[in-house]
Structure 1
Amino acid sequence: MSDETFTSRAQNAETFVRQLFEPTPCARNDHLSAKFGADIWLKREDLTPVRSYKIRGAWHAMHMAREENPDVSLFVCASAGNHAQGMAYACRELGVRGVVFMPVTTPQQKIDKTRTFGGDMIEIRLVGDYFDDTLASAKEYCAAQGGHFLAPFDDPHVIEGQASVAVEAVRQMPHAPDIVILPVGGGGLSSGVLKYIPEFWPQADVYLVEPKGGASLKAALIAGQPVTLPTVDSFVDGAAVARIGALPFETLRHVVVDHVLAASEDRICTTIVEMLNVEGIVLEPAGALTVDALRDLEDEIKGKRVLCVTSGGNFDFERLPEVRERAQRFLGLKKYFIMRLPQRPGALREFLDMLGPQDDISRFEYLKKSARNFGSVLIGIETKDPKNFKILFSKMEEAGLVHRDITNDEALAEFVL
């Protein structure tokens, strides 16, 4: 498929998308621009009707499927997130039946949102503890029913639909950006945008960012072909993909490895909190990827015009305590440690007197064993300045209080925190 043909198809997809909603905003962000000394613009895909770009690919691919085969009356997908919601919304608008397969472990909030978007036109089936089982069941059902399986990213029409993000941005930006930053999960959005913009912004450098715990694109670039990651951290659930899509990789294989960034899950949490507190912008972890990557590119972007695609805002606020916790730990404002406390009167008071005015105990568990002279204490401390921990630990060492920092000990923290 030639670039010219793809350009035309992406523009046609954008025309289809206009039947659903107006172009999402593409505007300069003053806070980020001042912070990084650059001209930062955000393409706000978190503001589509389903709060993610996924509706674009689903809508376009379903249109094309029905054009190619007017008898298609059933669409099937496997998804626990934005793709499911995009297909559900499109099913309702098109008046066609859809069946969404989700893992049994899917949070009720995501199930309810998908059902709200699809209404009476969709059925939700909870199958399997793991997504691979869910996917296999969805494909088996689809084949048996003669439906159309709607892939989340490994589909040419889905990729063309996601490229409508770039069609809008090219029209909206008053001047071509120097740098474009795109999130990567399965690769549908990034490959579509990357394939579209060279004709219009030939001088723009493109950087791609994926979660550190799901860096499937970088692994594929190193191997020269898509590979399956042995493990995936699912925290950035909108982009944590074990294997980059085969079709997207045909475009992404030409990306320079150094232009693929990996954002740590904990640091992404600090970006989510910052954008919420400072800008009032709600981003899901995958939606915050490109904004988070600005920190890695601070020297590169200074004085330049930068476009970031914020891909989604489906954030479950029940996760906010976890996000805040991870952000504090990343910033060094919260630590957990195990301390050996002498079992004698006044020992606890002596420790409490070591705390500074900005230190606050958020967790305290004391396991007293009468046969011992010392007891183990699990303590969580929050503070306003990371330097306060250096002062506290120095006081503890002077007093002979043996302690072990377990804040970043993943194996131990999984059981006790």
Structure 2
Amino acid sequence: MTDETFREGVAKAEEALRRLFPATPLQRNEHLSKQYGARIYLKREDLTPVRSYKIRGAFNFMRKRLEAGETSASFCCASAGNHAQGFAFACRHFGLKGRVFMPVTTPQQKIEKTRIFGGEAIEIELVGDFFDESYAAAREYARVSGAAMVPPFDHADIVEGQATVGLEIERQLKGEAIDMIVMPVGGGGLASGVTTFFAGPSAPDFRFVEPLGAPSLKTALTEGRRVKLPQIDGFVDGAAVAEIGALPLERLSGFPSDHVVLSPEGRICQTMLEMLNVEGIVLEPAGALAIDALRSLKQLIRGKTLVLVVSGGNFDFERLPDVKERALRFEGLKKYFVLRLAQRPGALKDFLGLLGPNDDIARFEYLKKSARDFGSILLGIETRNADNFPSLLKRMDEAGIRYQDITENQVFADLLI
């Protein structure tokens, strides 16, 4: 397929999409522009009807099958997130029957949102404890029933649909030169679509961003092949993909691996809180990726014009305490310790005297009387400045306090924190 043919297909997809919703805004963000000394625009995909760009690909996939004469087609998908909601919305729009396979462990809030978007057009089937089991069930259902399975990213029609983001950006800039586009990457459908749309000698610089705990694109570009990661951190659920899509990687294979930024999950939480508190913008973790990448790109972007694709805003506020916790730990403002204190009157009072004026106990729990002479305590401490911790630890050492810092110990964190 030539670049021109691809652009023509994207234009048709974009025209059809206007029956569902208007182009999402491209907004200059003064807060970020001032902070980084650049002209920064946000492409607000969190403002689609389903609060993510995923509706574009699902809609385009179905549209092309209907246009090909598959008028009695039924569809299915496997997803516990944005793809399911976009799929459901498209099914209702076309008046088609669809079935969504989700893990049994999917939060009720996501199940209900998918049901609201799809209405009577969809059925939801909860299968398995993990996504792989739901995916296998969806594939088997498609095989037996003849339903068309709508993939989340690894299909030409999905990539074409996601590329409509690029067409809207081009039109909304109205000829203004752009230096860089920053996009999040999960399976790669969005990134491969937009880069293909802009391909050519005048294409902007592209930078991609993945969560540190799920670097599927960076690993593939480094190795020169698709690699299924043995383990991923699922916190950034909208982009935590163990293996980049085959078609997306084919289209992204010409980019160097150092064009992929890896964002630490704790830093992403900082960015989410900043955008919520300063700008009033609610972002899911994957939706904050492109904005968070600015922290890694700040030396490259001063004086330049950038577009950041804000991919989604489906955030469950029940996760907010976890987001705050991760942000504090990443900033070094909160640490957890296991202390062994002598079992004598005044031992706890002596320890409390070591705390500084800005140190606050956020967690205090006796774990077990581990010996006749000593007891163990789980202790969480917050402080206003990360530089306060070295002096506190020095005072603890000088006082002979026996302790273990478990802040970065994932096993302890999962069990105790």
> Distance in 2 between the 1:185 and 1:2 partners?
25
Match of 2:118 in 1: 118
CA offsets, 1:133-167, max 9 Å, x none?
Answer: 11111011112111111111111111111000010
Match of 1:350 in 2: 350
Q: CA 1:370/1:271 → structure 2, altered by over 3 Å: closer, same or farther? A: closer
The residue type equivalent to 2:76 in the other structure is V
> Distance in 1 between the 2:323 and 2:242 partners?
23
**Correspondence 1:155 to 2:155:** yes
Match of 1:194 in 2: 195
> Distance in 2 between the 1:311 and 1:369 partners?
49
Task: Report if the CA contact (8 A) 2:42-2:309 is conserved.
Answer: yes
Match of 1:287 in 2: 287
Match of 1:146 in 2: 146
Once the two structures are overlaid, the 10-residue window that deviates more, 104-113 or 383-392, is: 383-392
Match of 1:58 in 2: 58
**Correspondence 1:228 to 2:225:** no
Match of 1:181 in 2: 182
1:268-287 paired onto structure 2 within 5 Å: 268-287=268-287
Spell out structure 1 runs of 4+ moving beyond 3 A. Answer: none
Q: CA 1:217/1:72 → structure 2, altered by over 3 Å: closer, same or farther? A: farther
Match of 1:412 in 2: 412
CA offsets, 1:231-258, max 9 Å, x none?
Answer: 1111111111111111111111111111
Task: Report if the CA contact (8 A) 1:72-1:148 is conserved.
Answer: no
> Distance in 1 between the 2:254 and 2:353 partners?
59
> Distance in 2 between the 1:180 and 1:48 partners?
20
SS in 2 for 1:214: coil
Task: Report if the CA contact (8 A) 1:52-1:312 is conserved.
Answer: yes
Match of 2:30 in 1: 30
The residue type equivalent to 1:187 in the other structure is G
Task: Report if the CA contact (8 A) 2:370-2:376 is conserved.
Answer: no
Q: CA 1:214/1:407 → structure 2, altered by over 3 Å: closer, same or farther? A: same
> Distance in 2 between the 1:83 and 1:64 partners?
18
Task: Report if the CA contact (8 A) 1:103-1:130 is conserved.
Answer: yes
Task: Report if the CA contact (8 A) 1:115-1:122 is conserved.
Answer: yes
> Distance in 2 between the 1:203 and 1:162 partners?
18
CA offsets, 1:244-278, max 9 Å, x none?
Answer: 11111111111111101111111111111111111
CA offsets, 1:192-239, max 9 Å, x none?
Answer: 00001135x825110011111111112221232222111111111111
Match of 1:11 in 2: 11
CA offsets, 1:168-208, max 9 Å, x none?
Answer: 01111241211111111111000000001135x82511001
CA offsets, 1:52-84, max 9 Å, x none?
Answer: 000011111110011113334311000010000
> Distance in 2 between the 1:101 and 1:339 partners?
46
> Distance in 1 between the 2:216 and 2:370 partners?
52
Once the two structures are overlaid, the 10-residue window that deviates more, 118-127 or 143-152, is: 143-152
The residue type equivalent to 1:302 in the other structure is R
Match of 1:251 in 2: 251
SS in 1 for 2:339: strand
Task: Report if the CA contact (8 A) 2:3-2:199 is conserved.
Answer: no
Task: Report if the CA contact (8 A) 1:72-1:147 is conserved.
Answer: no
SS in 2 for 1:404: strand
The residue type equivalent to 2:366 in the other structure is Y
**Correspondence 1:390 to 2:390:** yes
The residue type equivalent to 1:130 in the other structure is F
SS in 1 for 2:295: coil
Match of 1:381 in 2: 381
SS in 2 for 1:413: helix
Shift of 1:371: 4.8
Task: Report if the CA contact (8 A) 1:340-1:401 is conserved.
Answer: yes
Structure 2 unmatched runs, 5+: none
The residue type equivalent to 1:190 in the other structure is A
> Distance in 2 between the 1:39 and 1:322 partners?
32
Match of 1:170 in 2: 170
Match of 1:76 in 2: 76
**Correspondence 1:213 to 2:213:** yes
SS in 1 for 2:111: helix
Once the two structures are overlaid, the 10-residue window that deviates more, 390-399 or 375-384, is: 390-399
Shift of 1:367: 3.9
The residue type equivalent to 2:208 in the other structure is L
Once the two structures are overlaid, the 10-residue window that deviates more, 219-228 or 305-314, is: 219-228
Q: How many residues align?
A: 416
| C-alpha RMSD of the superposition | 1.3
TM-score, normalised on structure 2? Answer: 0.97
How many percent identity over aligned positions? Answer: 58
Shift of 1:368: 5.5
SS in 2 for 1:213: coil
SS in 2 for 1:295: helix
SS in 2 for 1:180: strand
The residue type equivalent to 1:338 in the other structure is V
**Correspondence 1:100 to 2:95:** no
